[in-house]
Structure formats: C-alpha cells, structure tokens
Amino acid sequence: MRVTPCLRQNTLSVSAALRERVRRPALLKKIAKPEDLAPLFKNDDYIGWSGFTGVGYPKSVPSAIADHVEAKNLQADPTTKKKFNLFVGASVGPEVEDRWARLDMIARRYPHQVGKDIAKGINAGRIDFADKHLSSECTLDLTYGYYSLHKNHGDPKRPLDWAIVEATAITEDGKIVPGASVGATPEILQSAEKIIVEVNTRIPNLEGLHDINQSFVPPYRQPYLIKHVKDRIGEPAIAVDTDRIVAIIESNKPDNTGPNSPENDESRAIASHLIHFLSEEVSAGRLPKNLLPLQSGIGNVANSIIGGLAEGPFEQVQVWTEVLQGEHISLSWWLGWLTIALLDTFIRFFDSGKLSFATATSIKFSPEGFDHFYAHWSDYKNRLLLRSQQVANSPEIIRRLGVIAMNTPLEVDIYAHANSTNALGSRMLNGLGGSADFLRNAKLSIMHTPSSRPTKTDPTGISCIVPFASHIDQTEHDLDVIVTEQGLADLRGLSPRERAPLIIEKCAHPDYKDSLREYYDRALHECMKRGAGHEPHMLRNAFKFHTNFMEHGTMKVKNWD
C-alpha cells in the first residue's frame, strides 16, 4: 500500500498579505514550504495542475519537486527515478513544464502542450501524449475516470492523487478564487485526493472575474443556460472540500508568458482580407452590424485580426473565446504617450470602446500587458468574465451564440482538410487545443495561415496549401473559409471539385499555384476516367510536397511524374 508521509507540524509565520487573502482561518494552520512538500510525491503519481496557456499555473511546488529530483539525483537510478502523470487544462509556463520534461519527470501528459521540451520528449517516445478536444479532456474524460483506468493506487473514487492549483484568494467558506485563468481547475480539484493551493499575493485578488459551475456526469448533466455572452450560470469561486486541502503556499511569482507573436505584413494582409469579408457579410444581411461573438486563436495572425477590429468599422463587438491574448508593442522610446495605447491587442480592443464584453477561460497578455491590466483592474472587471474550459469550449453554447471561429493551422489541403498539430504527419509540434471545438460548431468556421513558410534554404520552401494534408485535425466538413495573405476562399455551399480550384487560386502562394493546378487537373482526369471523381487525388503523389521537402528541403516539386 502506498503511504503519503504527513507534513510536520506547522510553525511558519503568516504574512499580512496571505492572511488577507486566506479568509478561512483554519486553512492558515496548513501553511507549508514548497521544499517540505516535494518529497511527498511518489513515482507514478497522477497530478493535476491549474493553468491555461501559460497563465494561472502553480510555480513554487512544481519547481520544488524538480529541485528535489535534481538535488538527490533521483533520475540516475531506475529504483529512485520519478515520473509523473500530468494533467493540465492546456499549457503552462516553460520554467516548470519544460523543466520537468528535460528531467524526464513526465510519463504521460494530457491533453495539450506547446513546450519545446515537452514536444521533444513526446517525439522521442519518453512522454506518452494524446490530443483531445479541450471541451472534453479534463472536463469530461478525467471526471469519467478514463485517464485513471490503469491507476492501481490511491482512492479509486479520485482519478488524481494530487491537485496543485494557483489562487488569488480563499473565501470564508473555503472556496478558491482563481487567477487569470480557469481552464480545467474545477474538474482537477473535484478529481483530486489531496489538494495544494498556491496563493499568489503578487497579483490582485481577482474575485468577481469568474463564473464557475459544477461538473456532473451523465445521466445527471445539466444544460448550460447561456443565451448571451454576459450570462452567468455559476459561482464566483470554486467550491472544494477543505478537508482535502493538505497545504497552503504563499507565492509571489509572475506568470511566465513572455512576448506574444508579433504582427507582420502577412498577418496584417490576412486580417485585412478577413475584415473585408466580415463587412460584406454585414452588408448582405448575413451578420448583424456588431457581428456575432468572435473566437480568436493564438499567434500573430490572431493579433492582427484583433488589432484590425480595434480600428475597424464594427461597434459593440462581443467575444466568446478560449484565450484573450495580445502582443505588446512598446513605442515608449520615441513616443512615450503611446506606450499604453499600443499595449496588447485585446487591451487596445477594450480601450477603443469597440469591444463591449468578452468571455474566455484564460487571459494571456505580455508581462507589460498584465502590468497594465492589473493596474487598471477596476476598468476591465465589469467587461470580462472567465469560465471553465468545459463552458468556454462547449459545443452547445458555441452553436447557440452563432460564434465566428478563427484559427491557424499548419497546413490546409486543396479540399479544406486542415492539419494543426503534426508536422509532416508525424512530428508533434503542439496540441490541438480547442480549435476544433469552435470550428466544428461555429456559424462561420475560418482558418487563416500564411500561404508559405521559409526553410533553411528557401524563403518559400514550405507551402501551407498542399495537395493532401499529412495529418487531419479539422475536416472539409467543418470549414467554411480559408484565408491567406494571397486572398480569401469562401467555400460555403461548394462541392469538393469546386473548392479545390478556388483554394488554389485565392490562397496558394504564386510559387506553388501552377504545381497545385497541375496536380488537381491530372487527379481529376485520372479519377473521372475510372468513375471516382468526387474528390480527385493521385494517391501516388498526394504527399509529394512533403516527401520532396524531406529529401530536398523544399516543397517545390519539379514534376508529378
């Protein structure tokens, strides 16, 4: 039987800041040091962390566990080596997650990742990873017990041994107030046998920012009674059984978000095409003047779109999305008065007066953006709401609200199948995230990408429009619009044979248009000849762009023979 050692009797002093934040006196008796907790974690433990897109994650205890593993040289001996099963709503800061990966401390990681060292461990076979839509992983599969089917220790009613979560406060009745993300934290807390709470006194108490609802399993699940972006259906904090809280940590470390992807000419051109398209939809009467609630992914294209909307023609826009992110542009070195005006794109969108309300599961601003956000917390708190990812990504709500979904893939093929995760079909880059939750259920499903990307030897060596996607995350059945800096292809109501020429003409880079046209024309001729012309392909050549890149460092094929 596995026995978890007990913490020694608490003799630590409590800071005034922590005493103000932890309003349930009994929990102040559970104050602990991270280094005292580190030895309690055992090999094969199932651990859940709070956090989403590098925000709101625990920092002190995971770092202390890594310190302990390094100091004791535990990974050098198979009898002392520790590898954990790690569950987080999405990605967290590289100083904890990537460090665990470098130390080979992660056996399994679900459901999403973006870290370089995590991806390296996955592709080397050291870390078992499976992509899941973020509306269904921790929020459903974890509470269903699917991820603990092979767990043979601990409380069989609790899928996780540990939950380590960050909070900005604990209320009088023991409820946990998250920080700038919610993610899967409610479900992780619900599923854990033991809970450690890191109360971050560096950032403000964000009480009132959140709308938290309880998870139920079938047949007891309830509908989400949300008809408007502003609607609340839950509580402002997460209810937990305080008897399962074994330790309280005071933390004062910031989220390690770093700079977001900067805009460039390509991303601004994509944004221009897209805003023009949305304007035409309004003129045609298919969208209201303030559009419908927007979902925007991450990256420089998303930044350009949000920046364009802040300067665009639409008023009283609302956002229903997964992550509010932004790129910091500081011009303080030559026009100091513009420093605040050109902060993160979503802050600019708020400050323009054109964004009336936004709901998400996480806020990912640059460090400068967060400084501004926290300093002006009172200006934003009534225009913003954070929910759990099971609600933010709920297909039910996305369909009801008629969300306009916009996300970036790695590649799109000529029939509008999209690959968002695996380069060359095999190498994991990052998890799927919640893009498919939105794209499958939105009123308008849009994917935007540069038409090409550079290689080491060719500035346009990778075509993002390919004959056949080497891995498919989003299917042709889910996507309505493809847009690159070259143009926009409106695919609504079109058959596959109508889609392919349009995508090639509107979206492919000029260096690849002739090659793609020849591929399609030859495939059409061959398939029609044998009575198989619905979605023509030459299977012998379908991945020739990719194999040519692997052999020659470019996707520019000489011929299709």
DSSP 176-207: EE--SB-BTHHHHHHHEEEEEEEEE-SS---T
Task: Please pick, among 97, 137, 250, 322, the residue that the annotation labels catalytic.
Answer: 322
Residues 6 or more apart whose Cβ sits within 8 Å of residue 128: 107, 108, 109, 122
Alpha-carbon dihedral sign for residues 181, 186, 188, 193 = positive
Give per-residue pLDDT as tens, 313-363.
899 999 999 998 865 443 333 233 333 334 577 888 888 889 999 999 999
Give per-residue pLDDT as tens, 487-540.
999 999 999 999 999 999 999 999 999 999 999 999 999 999 999 999 999 999
**Where does residue 361 rank: exposed (0-12), middle (13-18), buried (19+ CB within 10 A)?**
buried
Radius of gyration of the chain from its Cα atoms, rounded to whole angstroms = 24
> Is 495:414 a contact under the CB 8 Å cutoff?
no
508's tokens:
């492919």
| CA contacts within 13 A on the Cβ side of 386 | 30
Nearest 5°: phi and psi at 238? -95, 120
Our answer to whether residue 322 is catalytic in this structure is yes
Question: Per residue in 392-431, is it b (16+ CB within 10 Å) or e — as a string?
Answer: bbbbebbeebbbbbbbbbbbbbbbbbbbbbbbeeeebbbb
Q: pLDDT value at position 68?
A: 98
Q: pLDDT value at position 333?
A: 30
Q: pLDDT value at position 365?
A: 86
> Is 246:196 a contact under the CB 8 Å cutoff?
yes
Nearest to 184 by CA among 198, 164, 204: 164
Q: Are strands 452-453 and 444-448 parallel, antiparallel or unpaired?
A: unpaired
DSSP 399-443: HHHT-EEEE--SEEETT--EESSEETTTEE-S--TTHHHHHHH-S
* CA–CA separation, 338 and 278 (whole Å): 29
Q: pLDDT value at position 283?
A: 97
* CA–CA separation, 84 and 92 (whole Å): 16
* CA–CA separation, 187 and 480 (whole Å): 33
Q: pLDDT value at position 348?
A: 82
Q: Which residues pair with residue 195 across a beta bridge?
A: 163, 245
Structure letter (DSSP) for residue 137 = I
Q: Provide the residue count of the chain.
A: 561
Alpha-carbon dihedral sign for residues 433, 44, 124, 104 = positive
Residue ranges in the chain whose pLDDT is less than 50: 1, 3, 328-342
Query: For the whole prediction, is pTM greater than 0.75?
Result: yes
Q: pLDDT value at position 542?
A: 98
